[in-house]
């Protein structure tokens, strides 16, 4: 049974080649991508066993999503398979300065959005050590919101620690709805991840990452609040505030860097019981993610450790 379980939606990500337009490119590259499965992949690659629960159509596209995640060693045995419905897609034209990324979500009515919380194998969750969720799930449908609430309840009852990444997406719901939904679930979460910008948008945080982090810590009283801001990160554990500067990166594709951070942090925090190690692993995993196209950080624990220690991995 995996040590960490994540629950969420994973879509097909379709992107034109670098420097070409969704309006024009003859081919789109295809990959499975979802914030929760990204975290599970990072964990599995670093050596923390991970499982991912979702709901997929039993079609070539649904099987593809599961296969891409399973390839990294993530346990996908509890995915719910359905004969009907659709696999969500999203189209991304990556940002090139000063052009911002174009993202077209086409995920409404997906098989996951219609999940019934009672279908999930909660015993699989209860035997894990840790549960990871994000703010995207409650935004997708009423059923998904109920799913998140139920997952937290199951995990708590079974004594798991829980992490929650705020991950606000303005294109999925307005701040008002997000705030209301998230206030209901963040209370009592062990590890809260947020960007400084999301903390500003949803919780009226002001100032820098430090202030945002303090606000989250005071407001939701997690064991750890972690706020990232433009490569930097700040972590509050009770009154203690730890900060780390990020690495200089040549960013090939920034999407998924936050998930690599969360995966790296959880790995370090769970395996070495140290928020300092969590931050180090998270920052290194995120920096390495930036260097690859797609959502996946193609890293190993050795890569992360070498980057942290300043040793080149390959001579």
At 312 the three-state DSSP class reads coil
* DSSP letters for 184-228: HHHTT-SEEEEEHHHHHHHH---SSHHHHHHHHHHHH--SEEEEE
At 235 the three-state DSSP class reads strand
- Would you call 95 exposed, middle or buried from its count of C-beta atoms within 10 A (0-12, 13-18, 19+)? middle
Residues with catalytic function: 259
**312 in contact with a second copy (CB under 8 A):** yes
In whole angstroms, how close is the CB of 97 to a second copy at the nearest point? 4
Provide the mask over 236-265, with x wherever binding to a second copy is found by CB under 8 A and - wherever it is not: -----------xxxx-xx------------
**305 in contact with a second copy (CB under 8 A):** no
- 117 to each of 47, 74, 146, how far by Cα in Å? 29, 21, 7
In whole angstroms, how close is the CB of 258 to a second copy at the nearest point? 15
**274 in contact with a second copy (CB under 8 A):** no
**Alpha-carbon dihedral 308, 40, 259, 96, rounded to 10 degrees:** 100
**18 in contact with a second copy (CB under 8 A):** yes
Pairing of strands 232-237, 224-229: antiparallel
At 68 the three-state DSSP class reads helix
**Binding test (CB under 8 A) with a second copy, winner from 5, 11, 14, 217:** 14
Provide the mask over 156-195, with x wherever binding to a second copy is found by CB under 8 A and - wherever it is not: -------------xxx------------------------
* DSSP letters for 150-189: HHHHHHHHHT-EEEEE----TTTS-HHHHHHHHHHHHTT-
**102 in contact with a second copy (CB under 8 A):** yes
Q: What is the Cα–Cα distance from 190 to 36, expressed in whole angstroms?
A: 17
- 298 to each of 148, 158, 160, 181, 291, how far by Cα in Å? 28, 32, 28, 33, 9
Measured between its terminal Cα atoms, the distance across the chain in Å is 37
Stretch that binds a second copy, among 64-72, 152-160, 181-189, 268-276 (CB under 8 A): 64-72
Minimum CB distance to a second copy smaller for 72 or for 156: 72
Provide the mask over 31-60, with x wherever binding to a second copy is found by CB under 8 A and - wherever it is not: ----------------------------xx
**Binding test (CB under 8 A) with a second copy, winner from 19, 159, 174, 238:** 19
**153 in contact with a second copy (CB under 8 A):** no
In whole angstroms, how close is the CB of 165 to a second copy at the nearest point? 17
Residues of the shown chain interacting with a second copy in the complex, contacts defined by CB under 8 A = 14, 18-30, 59-61, 63-64, 67-68, 70-73, 86-87, 89, 91, 93, 96-104, 106, 108-109, 169-171, 247-250, 252-253, 287-288, 291-294, 296, 298, 303, 306-307, 312-315
């Amino acid at each position: 049974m995996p040590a960490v379980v994540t629950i969420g939606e994973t879509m097909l990500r379709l992107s034109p080649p670098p420097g070409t337009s969704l309006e024009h490119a003859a081919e789109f590259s295809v990959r499975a991508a979802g914030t929760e499965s990204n975290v599970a992949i990072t964990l599995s690659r670093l050596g923390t066993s991970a499982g991912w629960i979702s709901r997929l159509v039993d079609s070539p596209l649904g099987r593809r999503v599961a296969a891409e995640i399973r390839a990294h060693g993530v346990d996908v045995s509890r995915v719910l398979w359905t004969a009907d419905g659709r696999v969500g897609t999203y189209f991304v034209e990556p940002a090139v300065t000063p052009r911002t990324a174009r993202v077209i979500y086409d995920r409404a009515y997906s098989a996951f959005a219609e999940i019934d919380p009672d279908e999930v194998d909660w015993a699989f969750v209860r035997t894990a050590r840790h549960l990871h969720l994000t703010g995207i799930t409650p935004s997708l449908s009423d059923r998904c919101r109920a799913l998140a609430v139920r997952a937290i309840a199951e995990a708590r009852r079974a004594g798991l620690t829980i992490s929650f990444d705020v991950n606000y997406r303005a294109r999925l719901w307005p701040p008002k709805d997000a705030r209301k939904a998230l206030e209901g679930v963040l209370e009592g979460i062990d590890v809260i991840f947020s960007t400084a910008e999301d903390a500003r948008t949803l919780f009226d945080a002001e100032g820098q990452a430090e202030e945002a982090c303090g606000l989250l810590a005071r407001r939701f009283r997690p064991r750890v609040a972690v706020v990232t801001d433009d490569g930097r990160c700040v972590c509050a554990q009770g009154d203690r505030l730890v900060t780390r500067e990020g690495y200089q990166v040549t960013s090939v594709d920034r999407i998924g860097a936050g998930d690599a951070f969360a995966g790296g942090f959880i790995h370090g925090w769970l395996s070495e019981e140290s928020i300092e190690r969590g931050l180090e692993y998270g920052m290194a995993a995120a920096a390495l993610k930036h260097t690859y196209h797609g959502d996946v950080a193609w890293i190993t624990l050795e890569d992360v450790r070498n980057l942290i220690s300043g040793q080149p991995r390959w001579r």
